[in-house]
Structure 1
């Protein structure tokens, strides 16, 4: 068994919206590992992700710290560098579709507005992470990856971005005050600009 910390705690970016991401790599099912506390993977699956050049493999390669090793080894380090990530365009389009689906849900009903805004923030973040890994020199796996793409960063108003972020934290961790109708309206008004931004980046090719 190998246990790793990864994500914001390894970047030193802890705030009220952060959690501590933990990975458990196991060879067989264990009742001692709580799925609510750990991302649980088999050794075979981790190796597959490395071979695929999957973004999660790159995330672990660049931003994880060994916490426990039953065998005294560092499994992820021993795997070396993951293969090149080649699925960037397809993954960006997938997250654009998730964004588009959440926008449609907002138009159809007001019953899940905070959840839909949370999904939009998730789509923006993952879209940006995949874009940075595929197109830019330095990948960004942080919650604010969409703000860290240099000239390709998202350009919505800071207030709009913070409301979307608050919706994500509220939906996933139950932290923070409920969003007001005014805040929800402000966030919804950012959708056309987000749509244009995502579509423009999908069409940008590395020079």
Structure 2
């Protein structure tokens, strides 16, 4: 039995950005009272307009205090929500009352965190080819999160789109093709939706993608370091 109380619910993600396609899920943020638990999923889903009924819903549950903390800390997800939410239920105008999030300061740390996960992928697939499809999907997750974080520094505005990795400025183009990126994305979706992964999800494919990505990510990290050092120098010079 649910004991929570729903404060607000919003659509975000590709639907919130107006970039939905046949591969899109319906991402929903459900904000509930602190320490009261979730509400029944049906109570959230009944808020969804009929025009989105064909999309697979994916609900992210957050207490109000945690969302407030993310905005205060300037976490990337707070900027995600700030820029692209569509209200489903918002009687108290919860997100608007939080205002603009604090500037995002963890770009380099987040890039390094996801790179650490990426570095663990080659040994995993070499240990067992059974892991290939899962690890290929993890390549997609890491690369997308890295590019969303880096977009804060390398794009005119944070880019939360699926293909943000191909929109980064100031360094050479991502060395994997859109088709290779899509293959990794389909591996991720297959693991989440119980479907067969693409036939391209093989150990040689993953190792080759990683071999090309790693030096490019070195360049990306180096560029972010120079930007951070330049900012610190400018602050110290004032």
* Residue matched to 1:22: 28
Are positions 1:97 and 2:116 aligned together?
Answer: yes
Are positions 1:193 and 2:212 aligned together?
Answer: yes
What's the CA shift string for 1:107-136, capped at 9, x where partnerless?
221111000000011000000001112443
* Residue matched to 1:141: 160
Q: For residues 86 and 53 of structure 1, do their structure 2 counterparts lie closer, same or farther at Cα, with a shift above 3 Å needed?
A: same
Q: For residues 173 and 147 of structure 1, do their structure 2 counterparts lie closer, same or farther at Cα, with a shift above 3 Å needed?
A: farther
1:11 to 13, 17, 39: 17
Cα drift, residue 183 of structure 1: 5.1
Cα drift, residue 8 of structure 1: 0.5
Q: Which has the larger radius of gyration?
A: 2
Answer whether contact 1:129 1:140 (CA < 8 A) is retained. Answer: yes
Gaps of 5+ in 1: none
Gaps of 5+ in 2: 1-6, 45-56, 231-238
How does the TM-score come out when normalised to structure 2? 0.78
1:55 to 67, 76, 93: 76
Say what the alpha-carbon RMSD is for the aligned residues. 2.1
* Residue matched to 2:174: 154
SS at match of 2:129: coil
Cα drift, residue 105 of structure 1: 0.8
Answer whether contact 2:155 2:167 (CA < 8 A) is retained. Answer: no
CA distance in 2: counterparts of 1:197 and 1:23, whole angstroms: 34
1:170 to 181, 190, 194: 190
* Residue matched to 2:99: 80
Cα drift, residue 168 of structure 1: 1.7
Q: For residues 178 and 87 of structure 1, do their structure 2 counterparts lie closer, same or farther at Cα, with a shift above 3 Å needed?
A: closer
Cα drift, residue 37 of structure 1: 4.3
Are positions 1:119 and 2:138 aligned together?
Answer: yes
* Residues matched between the structures, number: 203
Answer whether contact 2:82 2:95 (CA < 8 A) is retained. Answer: yes
How does the TM-score come out when normalised to structure 1? 0.89
Could you list the structure 1 runs, at least 4 aligned residues long, displaced by more than 6 angstroms after superposition.
none
